[in-house]
Amino acid sequence: MNQPDPEQRTTAPDGQPEPSQPDWRREFPIDTVQDNEVARRDFTTFMVLTSLAFVVGQFWIVVQNRFRGQKDPPAEKAIARVNEIPVGGTKLFHYPGEHDPCILLRVPAEPGAALEKTILAYDQKCTHLSCAVVPDLEQGCLHCPCHHGCFDLHSGRAIAGPPRRPLTRITLEIRAGVIFATGIELRTV
């Protein structure tokens, strides 16, 4: 018994060659070999488009990072008077925008330490998943209640729990008894 030729192509009803057939007939062939060709071509197209989308996405991230670094520094802002914040005291404020919660702290200092060393400010958003950190002066840390992350009070570095990156520090200046927020110090370690 003769085996059917696997490469055999079914002739279209109008008898015309394959290239002159309408798109729908070429996209949905009857023969297995041609059907496999279409599937391979569709798969290749899918892979090329997916790779292209990936490359465009990476390029977009690079461009965004570049422009983020070139933004104007935030304007300085008076946030408290020194005598409002006793040692061990804290104050919440917003900087640089009204939707950016931050925390100001006055920590106990070594005798003779400069006042500037005892007044610190951090972005209040935890670097894990952005919950608000709260000071725990007894433990010497800023505690994140969501997953029990802890940040060192003096440096803002992550010391326990899931966070890996330090808190963003707000730079301060003290002039004539007034504390000014003057900028943002992004850190990775």
CB of 155 to ligand FES, least distance (A): 17
Contact between 149 and ligand FES per CB under 6 A: yes
Q: Shortest gap between Cβ of 102 and ligand FES (angstroms)?
A: 16
Q: Name the residue nearer to ligand FES (CB basis): 135 or 149.
A: 149
Q: What is the edge-to-edge ordering of all strands in the sheet holding 178-185?
A: 77-81, 178-185, 169-175, 119-123, 101-106, 90-94
Binding flag, residue 163, ligand FES (CB under 6 A): yes
Beta bridge partners of 120: 105
Q: Select 89 or 161, whichever has its Cβ closest to ligand FES.
A: 161
- At 96 the three-state DSSP class reads coil
Closest CA to 91 of 14, 26, 186, 181: 181
Question: For residues 62-121, which are near ligand FES according to CB under 6 A?
Answer: none
Pick one of 134, 137, 146, 174: the residue that binds ligand FES (CB under 6 A).
Answer: 146
Structure tokens at 81: 């008077």
How big is the chain, counted in residues?
Answer: 189
Residue of 79, 107, 142, 144 that binds ligand FES (CB under 6 A): 144
Integer Cα distance of 52 and 49 in angstroms: 5
Sign of CA dihedral 100, 106, 109, 115: positive
Q: Binding pattern to ligand FES, positions 112-141, x when CB under 6 A?
A: --------------x-xx-x----------
Which CB, 53 or 129, lies closer to ligand FES?
A: 129
